[in-house]
A and B are shown apart, each in its own frame.
Chain A
Amino acid sequence: MKKALLIIIVGAAVAVVFQSCAPRSALRQDSLASAIVNGDYLTAVKNIQQNPKLYGKLNQYLYYMDIGVLFHYAQLYDSSNVYLQRAVDINQELFTRSVTNEAAAILTNDNVRPYRSRPYELSMLHQLIAFNFLAKGNTESALVETRRAQLLFNEWERKDKNGTKYTNDPMFHYISSISYDAAGEYDNSMISLYKAIEAFQNGPLKLPEEVQNYAYYQFIKNDREGDNALLKLNATRPQSQVDGIGNELTEIIVIGYAGRGPALDEKSWRGTWVKDGLLVVTHTDPSGAIETMTLPAPSLPEKELQNAEKGQKTKSGTTFHVKFSLPVIKKNPSQTDRFVARCVNCGKTAESIVINDLDKQLEKNLEDTRAATMTRTVIRVVLRTIAAEKAKNEMQTANPMANLLLNVGTDLLADQLEHADARNCFLVPKQVHIARIPVNPGTWSVSVDALNQQGMVIGTKTFDSLTIKRGEKRYLFYSSLK
């Protein structure tokens, strides 16, 4: 009995310790949601900085990325880059994996590992740093980000032997193409445009028709008709109906962020075989709803009950229990369907197109990592189940009721350790839109409307007195995260 008590006490202590490693992402989402929807980004930053325990030591990457994203939405681009650059550094520091940490994760759950960015999040991180530089007219530094990200794309491509995973980002290459054009590097601009089209064609995001037509005519303009053939690219409209064909044009570029990006939650499945002849199967979905089924199951031989009556150790009342959890995507609905940018005093209008969809990116990431996640989950569950069964065997008594209590208690403690890794950067937008207005050099005012699916205006932002020089690409940002 003493041994049983010791096992229970140690098990409870371990469960309490690792309960603190259970997902804090739900807490973070709850505490930040309303500030973000209301556009109160600096309040959200303050909230995070005053509550670092919302993140903990293992989620430093997310801490810095989340604050960096919020400063970007608040248009404090220098502050944003300080935090985003730190997130880049942290991700690089995490390249080296700790053997003891990995072992602990196998025995408990993946939340004890430091959070390492998902590939599409890392692209988004570099993209936001580039956007911060572009917002301040610093094309050169934005192109440094392009080159840094290209190293990542090269490494991911090298590791992806089957050619099925996320290894390139269409939005990143498309924006890089514009930046190279602004810097007068037309060849690099066309190479990036080629990569953007290829990434659209090979990935989960649909190639927007406007980008398709723009690319088709840009390749021809730059003597790269062969690229159209390689990409099997055709135009759906005549060139006269396609805006912005040419090199080093003066442009106003509106980047719109529509809706809140996806988050992760977990689904759990539990099965308990009470060896006296009962099977209880439970499924918990992300909303917390629990579905339970109780079924008759094979029971123990008569001998075990007789052992109990004789006062000998018996398996009657013991259980065999398995629990596993897997991450699932949680999408946020968005009121914002698209943006319309109007150059007020030049009479030009441009409707936005979608160049990134973070819901689809996360779905693709879950698909890409499914095999690894399942393998880790199975290994973890098997090891934990073996350990739990051993502990239960040590605690076996002659009393079936005592056995049942000790076994159920052990199962509950083991359950506390099993959690899916439901961490991600949920502050990124649901969709990234772009609207491009070619203009002549001069001083212009721009009004950007956010529209819902019915075409009603749900928000407007005005940018006055923009003085734009020849060949300049002026970036304007509008967040409509409702």
Chain B
Amino acid sequence: MNKILKVLLLIAPVLAVGCSTKVTRVQTDSVIDLTGRWNDTDSRLVAEEMIKDCLSQRWLYSWESQNKRPVVIIGKVVNKSHEHISVETFTKDMERALLNSGKVNFVASKTEREQLREERDDMAENASVTTAKSDGEETGADLMLLGTINSVPDQNGNKAVVFYQTNLELIEIESNTKVWIGEKKIKKFVERANTKF
């Protein structure tokens, strides 16, 4: 009995340590798949593919040849998949990359504009004449970025295959002409354990 007690006392601290929360900081581009659902790696893959494709296609050359920079507004990316996905995680990456390339300008999206217009209304009432910003001076966008995310899941018991397809499109606002379509496909096989010890 004494031997058993001694062993228990020895291993108790080890067990206690083993049970406490452990945090390890990792690189933002490291691939860690915990559940099989859409995660940061998927958003990063989509953003990388879209940015590379968008900046290398012909639609941009026609603007560059006229020494113009197209003005783009981010529209709605409709989530038609079976998971709640934060689309901003890749639309913002794309916006940042295109803006920083110096080849594209962006204007505020619909939700961002509402805040700006509220601010101007407030300035009209409260700010000095010399510093208040006027209405009616907004830059109109030339192109709108729209998109969809679709998924096709197939599940049988503890195994599932999920296919995601993200499409982004640039559409000329005046003529409704589509000038670019980007696409990224991702497929995953997820297997869950039926039992554990």
Contacts and interface: CB of A to CB of B under 8 A. Distances in A.
Contact of B82 (A92, A95, A98, A144): A144
Given A151-B153, A154-B155, A158-B156, A98 B81 contact: no
Interface residues of A, number: 18
Main SS class of interface, A: helix
Contact of A147 (B81, B156, B195, B196): B81
A389 interface: no
B83 interface: yes
Contacts of A141: 79, 84
Nearest to B82: A147
B193 interface: yes
A147 B78 CA distance: 14
Interface in A154-178: 154-155, 158
Contacts of A143: 80
Interface residues of B, number: 20
A96 B196 contact: yes
B197 A100 contact: yes
A151 B192 CA distance: 16
A151 B197 contact: no
Contact of A144 (B84, B155, B158): B84
A97 B158 CA distance: 12
Interface string B156-174: 1110000000000000000
A144 to B, nearest CB: 5
A96 B194 contact: yes
Interface string A104-141: 00000000000000000000000000000000000011
A230 interface: no
Contact of A98 (B78, B192, B197): B197
Nearest to A185: B80
A140 B87 CA distance: 13
Given A140-B78, A151-B153, A154-B155, A96 B195 contact: yes
Interface of B: 35, 78-84, 151, 153, 155-158, 192-197
The 9 closest A-B CB pairs, nearest first, are A147-B82, A96-B193, A96-B196, A99-B195, A148-B82, A97-B195, A144-B84, A95-B192, A98-B196
